[in-house]
A and B are shown apart, each in its own frame.
Chain A
């Protein structure tokens, strides 16, 4: 265990798959070890994974938000068993076979998730990861270097914030977001030069914003979820992605 405390954060991220093989989910992780591991994995990054994929189910009798599809569902009642891996994350983002207890050990606050599942409180948005704060000036420099007008520069930098906040990197590998590096959807490096969006739309910032706002309206069976972006957020994110050459 002591060798992990000696690692810096970068190495910890790379070591994450190794940690999963060293501590298989079937074993109990001691509180001490969990605490040490948690110091290596910023809570916000684990949370951004969680909230990208899970949302609250509608409260009984309340308004339905099921039109916002997500990649995974939290089944009501499954949260009572701490070691239950029934809602394991199997979409290849490194959270395979996590149980509720594992989520708690790694610092994901599941009490709100549980309450949301039971319809008591609305879910909280994933907060901005430290890598975004680190990289926002870089994104601004990137936007500046493409020579776009002043309004577009601000959009691209804000777009990177939007992308990180909504956990896009849980499914895509995105330049400017250090971690996670998602493998669910295609990599977005150089997206500004791609000819088509999702294979069906011609690539322009306007079409991209339209796609981001409601993927199902463009391509009904796509696995890409509607994460509830506003028009401004979608435009900003589209501006950032269009700047990736």
Chain B
């Protein structure tokens, strides 16, 4: 009996200690909520996994209608450009500044369209994801419209960047550059700053990049050994200057590329290029 009592006492003490530490952390503002600071990779992975599991557990009753009618997909296309492009971007089209600054990152929907079942996509469109910036559209869009968006996202992996970009040129050119993009570089290229910046331009949503939270995606090629590789985009020789040129405007070098022009400032591009130059593969 004494042993059990002691165990219970220890557990209660630990619980109280845990509660005390938590209250202290919250009250002193110990936890940094800045979106400009990265998550720990493992924290990001756990949160993403928890989100997927939560969505999967709630879609059993959703009846998926046929999603292949061209009219439905066209309607979804219009809605996507109206409501989704600003944060998620599209093939070859950069998100607006609002999306680039978000944490967790708005995922690349061409990848999600291939990976996610339609019921789960619909659920996220309808209900959003709490504690991320993904809104729920249940009270803003009709059922038919939400299914139209779902149908379009499912089709998105088959839309070439050229087709997406050429379909609505007026809209894509309405992307306004920000005052930061025009700023001149203030320091020599710094790889550590580059590592911080790479999380500010949504690179992780398309590439696998070692050391960057959430960078496990296969829209573009993996960047694990980019410093060892001979070519950038299959066209430019891999030098820091060329990498900066590529980052500043991939569309000029590879027209129709899935990599959008992210309207980086030159200083940011130099720093990110410096960081990429530190990514060597295992065999060298």
Contact = CB atoms under 8 A, between A and B. Distances in A.
Contacts of A14: 283
A222 B230 contact: no
Contact of A200 (B108, B114, B162): B162
Interface stretch (A40-48, A108-116, A177-185): A177-185
Given A92-B230, A185-B234, A194-B221, A202 B159 contact: yes
Interface string A221-232: 111100000000
B230 A187 contact: no
Interface residues of B, number: 33
B257 A186 contact: no
A200 B259 CA distance: 9
B270 to A, nearest CB: 22
A223 B233 CA distance: 9
A200 B228 contact: no
Interface in B219-236: 219-222, 224-225, 228-231, 233-235
A221 B235 contact: yes
B249 to A, nearest CB: 14
B81 to A, nearest CB: 19
Interface string A183-217: 11111011001111011111110000000000000
B233 to A, nearest CB: 6
Contacts of A194: 218-221
Contact of A183 (B222, B228, B254, B256): B228
Given A187-B221, A187-B222, A222 B162 contact: no
B18 interface: no
A200 B258 contact: yes
B232 to A, nearest CB: 10
A196 B259 CA distance: 10
Interface residues of A, number: 28
A198 B159 CA distance: 14
Given A194-B219, A199-B220, A219 B254 contact: yes
B272 to A, nearest CB: 18
Contact of A181 (B110, B157, B283): B283
A223 B158 contact: no
A165 B53 CA distance: 44
Closest 5 CB pairs of A and B: A186-B221, A199-B257, A184-B230, A222-B234, A195-B219
18 contacts: A91-B230, A181-B283, A183-B229, A184-B231, A185-B230, A186-B222, A186-B229, A187-B221, A190-B218, A194-B220, A195-B219, A199-B161, A199-B220, A199-B234, A199-B257, A199-B258, A204-B158, A222-B235
Interface of B: 91, 108, 110-111, 114, 157-162, 218-222, 224-225, 228-231, 233-235, 254, 256-259, 281, 283-284
Interface of A: 14, 17, 91-92, 181, 183-187, 189-190, 193-196, 198-204, 219, 221-224
